[in-house]
């Protein structure tokens, strides 16, 4: 159930970032750039983060709260990006916010869309990293390494933990 919910929200956010303006009648020719350059990479990163959380749970490890917080922040910024990203309609740049609140919002929307997009991508990448770290095997302690190196009372060279 969790995977369905996370995947659905990720898909909705990716679609809203790339083609959401069409629902407000502000769709234009820049959409063909936004879909492959913004929507698809965001969705792929989101699905990888979700997959790493699934792997961590399959290994019996707890997915930390910061994974979900990072995803929620990413979703909020993705939606804000969708509202502020401009599109070219009849030779003019138009955003959803300028369509709703007037032409004075075009410059402000364009100024805000880049930070929202950067934060959306940065936090989904952070969620991916948190998912990867949650699924890793714990590092052996120094005592574990020394115990593994001791053979017949003598210290031997121990294998690197990642080569096992």
- What's the pLDDT score for residue 78? 97
| Three-class SS state of 153 | coil
Residue 120 vs residues 12, 43, 81: alpha-carbon distances, Å: 14, 11, 8
What is the rounded CA–CA span in Å between residue 78 and residue 84? 10
Query: To the nearest whole percent, how much of the chain has pLDDT over 90?
Result: 54
What is the rounded CA–CA span in Å between residue 12 and residue 78? 10
The model's pLDDT over 65-85, given as tens digits with 9 standing for 90+, comes to: 999 999 999 999 999 999 999
User: In whole angstroms, what separates CA 56 from the centre of its chain?
Assistant: 17
Sign, CA dihedral 154-156-162-164, equals negative
Nearest CA to 43 among 26, 65, 80, 18? Answer: 18
What is the rounded CA–CA span in Å between residue 19 and residue 99? 15
In the block, residue with structure tokens 């629902």? 23
The model's pLDDT over 90-146, given as tens digits with 9 standing for 90+, comes to: 888 889 898 888 888 888 998 999 999 999 999 999 999 999 999 887 777 777 777
Choose between 156 and 81: higher pLDDT. Answer: 81
How much is the mean pLDDT over the chain?
Answer: 88
Say whether pTM exceeds 0.85: no
Dihedrals phi, psi of 103, to nearest 5 degrees: -70, -20
- What's the pLDDT score for residue 159? 66
- What's the pLDDT score for residue 19? 92
**Mean pLDDT (whole number) for 11-16:** 96
- What's the pLDDT score for residue 86? 92
């Amino acid at each position: 159930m969790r995977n369905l919910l996370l995947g659905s929200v990720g898909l909705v956010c990716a679609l809203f970032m790339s083609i959401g303006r069409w629902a407000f009648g502000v769709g234009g020719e820049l959409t063909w750039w936004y879909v492959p350059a913004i929507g698809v990479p965001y969705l792929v990163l989101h699905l990888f983060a979700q997959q790493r959380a699934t792997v961590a749970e399959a290994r019996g490890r707890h997915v930390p709260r910061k994974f979900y917080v990072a995803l929620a922040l990413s979703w909020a910024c993705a939606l804000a990006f969708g509202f502020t990203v401009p599109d070219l309609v009849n030779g003019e740049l138009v955003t959803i916010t300028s369509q709703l609140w007037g032409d004075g919002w075009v410059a402000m929307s364009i100024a805000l869309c880049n930070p929202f997009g950067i934060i959306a991508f940065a936090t989904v990448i952070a969620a991916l990293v948190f998912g990867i770290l949650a699924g890793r095997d714990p590092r052996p302690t120094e005592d574990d390494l020394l115990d593994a190196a001791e053979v017949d009372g003598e210290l031997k060279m121990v294998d690197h933990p990642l080569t096992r």
